[in-house]
Amino acid sequence: MESYALLLAATLNAGTVLAIAALGLLINEKAGVVNLGAEGMMLCAALAGFATVVHSGSDWLGFAAGMGAGALLAALFGVLVIWLNTNQYATGLALSLFGLGFSAFAGIGYVQAKLPERVQHHIPWLGDIPWLGPALFRQHPLVYATMLFCAALIWWLYRTRAGLVLRSVGESPESAHALGYPVRRIRLLAVVTGGALCGLSGAYLSVVYTPLWVEGMVAGKGWIALALTTFATWRPSRALLGAYLFGGVTMLQFHLQSVGVDVPSQWMTMLPYLATILVLALISRNPAWIRINKPASLGRPFHPGA
């Protein structure tokens, strides 16, 4: 029984990495921009965060550095895609590739470095509740912050005027433009915010989750996060749940291996990916549902006054 509490705890931790990035990418896509460069941004941010903690000893500075790196790369992407109208998919891929190579290159000196001792977190009193305590209340603060952020995002997107403006930019930039909103600047803001969140996710990965730096360490999580936004049909709560689902199945397959389940480990490793496809297929079955939720201008360039 105890091990299931720990499994749940591990799920929340693993899912948080994906969730932060997925929520950031969701903000992007709500404004109508697809940024396939998530992997590259996360990698550069992971390096930036790690290096900052090595030199300064402060985790929070590391997170800030990661967010900055992500935002910077996203801004570069944004200028190309929003002002020069380059193809969003191609530009995103270029960013991914560049980020991979650049972080590997710049990070060479940090591969053997190590961080100051990582702390085990434990909410006083709550963390001592049998079963629930270890399951839910011994996480890094960012895990809880992510859940709060998701709730805040939902409120902001659907209950505030600013959120409405963002969504309308994503649905119909032409109309928003006609109404006088600075569409391109709003898109850029969304892209930069999304990049900062991807950056935070990358920094969390290298500073808290697996506290070391090695090239390519994001190992595909950026792509998974992208997949999750589609999987979530662009609704934040679904993105969060999807992230936990994916993280959970990943931890589950290792757990099952350790318990000695008699299935080849390769099939187990496939589980999270198959699960994602299956749930996606079930969700997408209703095309009307997709049409309602997908930002109509997603992926398409916007020409003001064309």
Least distance in Å: CB of 156 to another protein?
A: 25
> With respect to another protein, which residue has the nearer C-beta, 1 or 160?
1
Half-sphere exposure of 158 (CA within 13 A, CB side): 11
Instruction: From 122-130, 149-157, 188-196, 209-217, give the range in contact with another protein by CB under 8 A.
Output: 209-217
**Would you state the structure tokens that stand for residue 58, as one six-digit string?**
């402060």
Name residues contacting another protein, limited to 64-83 (CB under 8 A).
Answer: 80, 83
Please choose, out of 2-10, 172-180, 184-192, 195-203, the segment that lies near another protein by the rule CB under 8 A. Answer: 2-10
> Do the Cβ atoms of 150 and 19 come closer than 8 Å?
yes
226-265: contacts with another protein (CB under 8 A)? 226-227, 230-231, 250-251, 254-255, 257-260, 262, 264-265
Interface stretch with another protein, choices 151-159, 166-174, 180-188, 268-276 (CB under 8 A): 268-276
* Binding-site size, another protein (CB under 8 A): 79
Q: What string of H, E and C letters represents the secondary structure of 3-58?
A: HHHHHHHHHHHHHHHHHHHHHHHHHHHHCCCCCCCHHHHHHHHHHHHHHHHHHHCC
Phi-psi region of 8 (alpha: psi -120 to 50; beta: other; left: phi over 0): alpha
Q: Does 219 bind another protein (CB under 8 A)?
A: yes
Cβ burial of 292 (10 Å; 0-12, 13-18, 19+) is exposed
95 near another protein (CB under 8 A):
yes
Copy the structure tokens of residue 81: 């895609």
* 161 in contact with another protein (CB under 8 A): no
Task: Give the closest residue to 29 by CA, choosing from 239, 236, 234, 284.
Answer: 234
**Binding residue for another protein (CB under 8 A) from 94, 123, 147, 165?**
94
106, 43 contact by CB (below 8 A): no
Determine if 151 is a binding residue for another protein (CB under 8 A). Answer: no
* Residue from 30, 177, 187, 221 in contact with another protein (CB under 8 A): 221
